Amino acid sequence: MEMGRINLWRQKYINDVQIVIILTDKDFKSSSQSLINRGFKWIFLDGSKKEKLEFNYKIKMYPSFLLIDRKGQIIADPCPYPSEDLELTINKILLADPTRSGSEDR
């Protein structure tokens, strides 16, 4: 449900939001290919060394959602799940960002 909702946003926010999924499965290639085959055309990163990720980003549970701005700074941690008003949070951030592309009606 969460990933399906995010997939809908991919096109809506294509010029303003980049979706990156960190897969912590041991078989990254198989996991990422399975998601691509299901229509999820995002950036997938290999997070099989999850201990380092958990430490660096203070991840306490999976899935975890973070919002990172264009400068690479974490701006919402934790952020709401997609089903818990994440889109509202994204819209507030985009409206406050003078560098956004403005390609989408808000």
Domains belonging to the chain, first-starting first, are: 2-96 (3.40.30.10)
pLDDT tens readout for residues 30-51: 999 998 999 888 888 888 887 8
**Amino acid (1-letter code) at residue 32:** S
**Banded model confidence at residue 106, pLDDT cuts 50, 70, 90:** very low
Q: How far apart are CA 79 and CA 60, in angstroms?
A: 13
- 14 Cβ contact partners less than 8 Å away, ≥ 6 residues apart: 103
Residue 40 half-sphere exposure, CB side, CA atoms within 13 Å? 19
Task: Give the per-residue pLDDT at 56.
Answer: 78
CB atoms inside a 10 Å sphere around CB 79:
19
Q: Residue 20's closest CA among 48, 47, 38?
A: 47
The pLDDT of residue 101: 57
Contact 43, 68 (CB under 8 A): no
